[in-house]
């Protein structure tokens, strides 16, 4: 793992799940994202990512970042959303635990020490994106984002692959907000 990135927040494991079918096809620097729409005026107070492996029990994974972004033009997200106090809303060096819905309530890189309070309005679309620090492609037992058992809705999930370009795969797990 890259020693330049450190996680100052370990996730609060909200829900534990059974071993999963991970998508182990990602290279370092690639990202997955979910486009979400707020159903009310309020604040985003957490970002969640389900992380799983085939057998369960994999060591924690340090990934590059989780970002909260404006809607942009799908599949390209907009500018970073702003957390209270004016910093970009995101987690630098996100540590993900296998088999759980990992929840991050502290944002604002580089210290990840500011509580998440990102204002949104009713009907506002925003993007939650996870960028991979390490390659998991070719390792069938590595943890990763997993198949979404509820299915995939069009223009809601995207993958940014190297050397560039996005796609909208079916059945990607969605990073969620809490």
What is the per-residue pLDDT across 37-55, written as a single tens digit (0 to 9) for each?
999 999 999 998 999 998 8
43, part of any domain: yes
Residue 135 belongs to what domain range? 12-177
On the question of pLDDT at 23 being above 80, the answer is yes
2, part of any domain: no
5, part of any domain: no
- CA separation (Å) from 175 to 1, 112, 117, 157? 22, 18, 17, 9
Q: Average pLDDT, stretch 122-142?
A: 92
- 85 φ, ψ to 5°? 85, -5
More confident residue, 72 or 27: 27
84, part of any domain: yes
pLDDT at position 14 is 44
7, part of any domain: no
Read off the pLDDT band of 13 (50, 70, 90): very low
Measured CA to CA, the distance from residue 151 to residue 124 in angstroms comes to 23
Q: Note the pTM of the prediction, 2 decimals.
A: 0.80
96, part of any domain: yes
149, part of any domain: yes
**For all residues of the chain together, what is the average pLDDT?**
78
154, part of any domain: yes
Domain total of the chain: 1
């Amino acid at each position: 793992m890259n020693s330049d990135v450190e996680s100052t927040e370990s996730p609060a494991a909200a829900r534990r799940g059974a071993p999963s079918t991970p998508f182990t096809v990602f290279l370092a620097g690639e990202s997955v994202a979910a486009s979400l729409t707020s159903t009310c005026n309020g604040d985003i107070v957490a970002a969640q990512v389900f992380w799983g492996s085939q057998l369960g029990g994999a060591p924690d994974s340090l990934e590059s970042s989780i970002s909260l972004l404006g809607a942009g033009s799908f599949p390209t997200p907009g500018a970073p959303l702003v957390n209270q106090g004016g910093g970009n809303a995101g987690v630098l060096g996100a540590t993900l635990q296998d088999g759980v819905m990992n929840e991050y309530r502290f944002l604002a890189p580089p210290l990840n020490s500011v509580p998440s309070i990102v204002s949104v309005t009713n009907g506002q679309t925003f993007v939650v994106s996870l960028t991979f620090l390490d390659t998991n492609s070719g390792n069938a037992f590595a943890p990763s984002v997993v198949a979404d058992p509820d299915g995939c809705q069009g223009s809601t999930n995207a993958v940014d692959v190297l050397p560039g370009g996005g796609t909208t795969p079916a059945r990607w797990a969605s990073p969620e907000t809490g």
